[in-house]
Structure 1
Amino acid sequence: MNKRKVVNIVAEVLKYAILIAGAIFTLLPFLWMILSSLKTSAEITAIPPSLFPKVPQFSNFAEAWKSAPFPRYIFNTLVVTIISTAGVLVTTVLAAYAFARLNFPGKKLMLSLMLATLMIPGEMLIITNFITITKLKWINTYQAMIVPYLASVFYIYLLTQFFSQVPDALYLAAKVDKCNDFKYLIKIMIPINKSPITTVCILNAIGCWNSFMWPLLVTNSKEMRVLSYGLMQFQTENGSSYELIMAASCILVLPIVVVYLILRKYVIEGVTQSGIKG
């Protein structure tokens, strides 16, 4: 075995060792949360701590579910997530198609100005958005949590790059067949770019599901709380019941994790294709 082969083997071993270590550090908090949600109050506060519960306490989930109006929190979160994601999908696809395929005066300047807004800290936008929402008297409403985030410059730029990779020959051939731009978008562009569009939907849905600061600012009643805000209030009301807090955290995390695991191949395809030129 020559020296070069030994170096390659050592490099491979180190690479996988680093990947495994990274995976363990990433998954360990989630594993601890799940196992802690199945412990008793005495086990979760025991010193030294134990990793596994002696007898899994699945009743913690039922008790946590009854301790707060989680069905209402989930309903509010679903409403905000579904409508926001649908709105972002429509605005992103239409804007990306316009920037990638259509020619109109000031197109490059407009795209540059939009990209420049990405340099503005999100905290600054929260202030102006809150003032606008207050003047519209939308506080404590669904539209307050949805309307300010119906468009995303980053997602528009991302899809613009994908749409630009589609060969011009397809567009010209469609025009020869008397296909209008909207039909071309629906029949050709969207199916070709299914993976990046799905990636945008998943990432936006995850962001909406985990949103905390904005719902905290624009809602002030228990009926309008989303899951993340409701979990914080649940933690405040049940500060010493750590096993219930962990069970409630599992309720918050589990749905979006399941959705991601089902659709993760589209996210991977969307990311890996981002560097490919058509």
Structure 2
Amino acid sequence: MKPGFFFAVLCVGLFFVACSTAPKTPPQSLVVRNEAGRLVLLGAKTLREGQPAAAREYYAEAYRLYTLVDEPEGRIRALDGLGRVPGVDFDPWQKAQEIALDSGDEALVALASLLIAERYLFSEDTVLLEKAQTVLSHAIVKLGGRQNDKARALRLYGSSLKPMQRYGEAIEAIKTAIDIDKKNRSFIELASDYYVMASIYSKQGDYPAAITYLTSAIEYDRRSENGSGLGSDYLALGTVYEKAGNLEKARVNYQKALDIFTAGRFSDKIEDVKRKINAIK
């Protein structure tokens, strides 16, 4: 994913006495914040490339820098990344909740709540899925002025509705996310929207629609050079073709996924795809 950043300008100290000839304090601009933002993007990039250890270092340094300048939104975004990599000795997503609450900013509380909702989605427990939907419904409203984050909330909301077979509502949520991400030219996020939409149609047995949306996901992941996304797209496309009974096209797309995952050294994904290929030989 490409989260957007909204940074506050550093205030220059006020002096009791000043004169026109006195040396002026140079503006510090946003040097530290910009560097931290760059590191968050590098963390996301290396994570997509299958390098979680490197991603952890980038996210950890970004978190340190954002903490140094007391930037709560940046800290939350760095913690978002840290929660996706191994080797972190605390719960980053829980820490994000604490920082958001301490800020007193409703939008930041909503932003951090997406992480808890995402955690609920990992479960197949109906109660947790309903909790996720409640959290996300609230977040969608509070993030109205932050369109990229709102699209993310909508994508998660659509994903939460799918296992409960609320397909119509799920499709409408993802359509809204697609509209936002298209307008903002957020191509990686747009690919994710199409991927989720494909999974909804596949769940309903509408394989032609699923194939169409996965083809769009591939297009935007390719434009974004998102290797992990492309591998997942081709893996899903192979699965859809297999469900539809077209084993030859399933095999072709599984092989594409295998080639990409092998190039990216995604060892956990490689074995999964190999099993699928062997199962249809």
Structure with greater contact order relative to length (CA < 8 Å, sep ≥ 6): 1
Larger-gyration structure (1/2): 1
Shorter-chain TM-score tier: under 0.3
Query: TM-score, normalised to structure 2's length?
Result: 0.23
